[in-house]
Amino acid sequence: MDWIWGTLFALLVAGAAYRKKSLTVSGSAAAVVMGAVYYGAGNLFWFGTLLLFFITSTLLSRYKKREKHELEKSYAKTGNRDAAQVFANGGLGMILVILYTLFPHPVWMYVFVGIMATVTADTWATEIGSLSRRQPRSVITLKPVAPGTSGGVTFTGNVASMLGALVIGVGASLFLQVIGEETLSSIAPYALIGLVSGFAGAYLDSLFGATVQRMYRCPVCGKEVEVKEHCGVRTTQSRGLSWMSNDLVNLLSSLFGGALAGILGFLLF
């Protein structure tokens, strides 16, 4: 029965996202599969937390879209998600919900909160930070860098990162209360797990972006970008390790946020 509800909920959400052009056709199909597994094998805690990430990041990517348009061309992740991006954001969580079903233990839930807090913090920081009027500074050297540079952070972006991480922690705890698995007393520890692991995970993402992540330079406008094409031409690698793609950086940061949350869960509960 849960699988049927999960598929129906997921169809509703994916359908709405497709109509609003937040998901491509392949992205919608992937979202339906993912939603069905999150609700069918899991419950509202898993499904709701994923949805909280998806809805808030979709709304934020639409907020002041025109001001962010130029910057978005240099980022690998954009508002319109295809199947690969849907799995990049929710794939690890899908593995965790399956692990939780096979070997029930709360540690999978803490790790999941850490992973979702990391991707949410990273997205909020990118979407809100790119609106900051102050010039970003390199997370390593603290010197000003061009807006859109990987590894560049702003005060606004850091605050947004913390807020996004906190929202996931609090939201996850509230979903657990709705299904009767936790009481009010779990809000504080979950909020702390989300805040610390999500902020740290997103921070690691910036550190990688400033150091080892593969970056490209556009031969037309001279900007440093994450994408292989800019201004209509192919970009060339400018720095970083050739195998350290943006996807791999996201994966490693999420795993770090998840591991940290797992440890915090053991300490706090």
CB proximity list for 50: less than 8 A, separation 6 or greater: 34, 35, 38, 90, 93, 116
Q: Closer to Zn ion by CB, 146 or 221: give it.
A: 221
Of 58-66, 140-148, 222-230, 246-254: span binding Zn ion (CB under 5 A):
222-230
Of 3-11, 93-101, 187-195, 221-229: span binding Zn ion (CB under 5 A):
221-229
Told to check if 218 binds Zn ion by CB under 5 A, we report yes
Q: Closer to Zn ion by CB, 25 or 221: give it.
A: 221
Q: Closer to Zn ion by CB, 51 or 218: give it.
A: 218
Question: For tokens 């999960």, what's the residue?
Answer: 6
Q: Closer to Zn ion by CB, 21 or 228: give it.
A: 228
**44-59: b or e for each residue (b if 16 or more CB lie within 10 Å)?**
bbbbbbbbbbbebbbe
Mapped onto helix, strand or coil, the DSSP state of residue 233 is strand
Tell the smallest beta-carbon distance from residue 231 to Zn ion (Å). Answer: 3
Told to check if 14 binds Zn ion by CB under 5 A, we report no
Of 14-22, 34-42, 157-165, 223-231: span binding Zn ion (CB under 5 A):
223-231
List binders of Zn ion among 128-147 (CB under 5 A): none
Among residues 152, 190, 189, 139, the alpha carbon closest in space to that of 169 is found at: 190
> Quick check: 113 and 166 in contact, CB under 8 A?
no
Told to check if 241 binds Zn ion by CB under 5 A, we report no
Exactly one of 45, 186, 230, 258 binds Zn ion (CB under 5 A); which one?
Answer: 230
Mapped onto helix, strand or coil, the DSSP state of residue 229 is strand
Of 3-11, 102-110, 184-192, 219-227: span binding Zn ion (CB under 5 A):
219-227
What's the half-sphere exposure (Cβ side, CA atoms, 13 Å) at 113? 33
- Name the token pair of 97: 């919900």
Told to check if 221 binds Zn ion by CB under 5 A, we report yes
Tell the smallest beta-carbon distance from residue 73 to Zn ion (Å). Answer: 8
Exactly one of 220, 238, 247, 269 binds Zn ion (CB under 5 A); which one?
Answer: 220
Q: Closer to Zn ion by CB, 81 or 230: give it.
A: 230
Mapped onto helix, strand or coil, the DSSP state of residue 73 is coil
Of 89-97, 113-121, 149-157, 231-239: span binding Zn ion (CB under 5 A):
231-239
Of 4-12, 114-122, 200-208, 229-237: span binding Zn ion (CB under 5 A):
229-237
> Quick check: 75 and 68 in contact, CB under 8 A?
no
Q: Closer to Zn ion by CB, 4 or 231: give it.
A: 231
Cα–Cα distance between 142 and 145 in angstroms, integer?
9
Size of the site for Zn ion (CB under 5 A): 5
Tell the smallest beta-carbon distance from residue 66 to Zn ion (Å). Answer: 19
What's the half-sphere exposure (Cβ side, CA atoms, 13 Å) at 51? 22
Beta-sheet strands, E only, within the chain:
137-138, 152-153, 215-217, 224-225, 229-230, 233-234, 236-239
Q: Which residues bind Zn ion (CB under 5 A)?
A: 218, 220-221, 230-231
